[in-house]
């Protein structure tokens, strides 16, 4: 009996398959395929651009109010704390700044034609290593103190300590 049922089931399926009409598929030309691909890419690009414009619109309005339309963000606005690349249309300068700081902090605001990094008159203080310091370095090194601790003790960098210890070692070898 099981075989009879299975046979009926199989014949029924075959009959249904024959009923389905077979349609011929007309192959697309290379040109049509390329046109479809280009259209999909442009649609996707337009959607991304619209999303970017929608996201940065409120931030751009705030920048326009403060800088009269000269400063524009080149990257999409993410949040007030994310660093974003900005551009000034007057001085053609590009810089990274946080939106919140660019709008609120006085020392972070953009001034056309002024480079805040070159404004400071402070010069890096250079510590001159004296002969006493070199003698002290050698004594501490002979006592077994590490180079890092010697650097902290004297107040100079580790590479400076290493340099002078090597010079002292070379002078001992020559003598």
Model confidence pTM above 0.75: no
Task: Categorize the per-residue pLDDT at 74 as very low, low, confident or very high, splitting at 50, 70 and 90.
Answer: confident
Is 43 contained in some domain?
yes
Q: Is the four-CA dihedral 161, 164, 166, 169 of positive or negative sign?
A: negative
User: Checking DSSP bridges between strand 71-73 and strand 94-97, what pairing results, if any?
Assistant: unpaired
Residues 70 and 107 in one domain: yes
For residue 20, is it within any domain? no
Q: With cut-offs at 50, 70 and 90, classify the pLDDT of residue 21.
A: low
Phi-psi region of 155 (alpha: psi -120 to 50; beta: other; left: phi over 0): left
In a domain, 107, yes or no: yes
Indicate whether 113 and 149 sit together in one domain: no
Q: What is the CATH number of the domain that holds 142?
A: 1.10.10
* Residue-level pLDDT at 150: 92
* Number of domains within the chain: 2
Is 165 found in the same domain as 95?
A: no
Chain mean pLDDT for the chain: 82
Task: Compute the distance between CA of residue 81 and CA of residue 72 in angstroms, rounded to an integer.
Answer: 17
Indicate whether 36 and 68 sit together in one domain. yes
Q: How confident is the model at residue 13 (pLDDT cuts 50, 70, 90)?
A: confident
Q: Over the stretch 83-117, which tens digit does the pLDDT of each residue have?
A: 989 998 888 888 888 988 888 888 788 888 776 66
Answer yes or no: is 93 within a domain. Answer: yes
For residue 152, what are the domain limits? 131-174
Question: What pLDDT is recorded for position 122?
Answer: 67
């Amino acid at each position: 009996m099981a075989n009879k049922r299975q046979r009926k089931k199989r014949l029924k399926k075959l009959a249904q398959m024959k009923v389905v009409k077979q349609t011929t598929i007309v192959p697309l030309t290379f040109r049509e395929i390329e046109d479809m691909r280009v259209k999909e890419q442009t649609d996707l690009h337009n959607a991304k651009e619209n999303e970017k414009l929608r996201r940065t619109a409120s931030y751009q309005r705030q920048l326009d109010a403060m800088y009269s339309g000269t400063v524009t963000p080149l990257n999409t606005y993410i949040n007030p704390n994310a660093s974003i690349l900005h551009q000034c249309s007057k001085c053609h300068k590009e810089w990274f700044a946080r939106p919140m700081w660019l709008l609120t902090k006085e020392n972070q605001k953009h001034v056309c034609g002024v480079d805040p990094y070159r404004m400071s008159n402070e010069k890096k203080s250079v510590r001159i290593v004296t002969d006493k310091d070199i003698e002290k370095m050698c004594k501490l090194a002979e006592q077994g103190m590490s180079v890092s601790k010697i650097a902290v003790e004297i107040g100079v960098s580790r590479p400076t300590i290493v340099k002078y210890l090597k010079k002292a070692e070379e002078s001992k070898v020559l003598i």
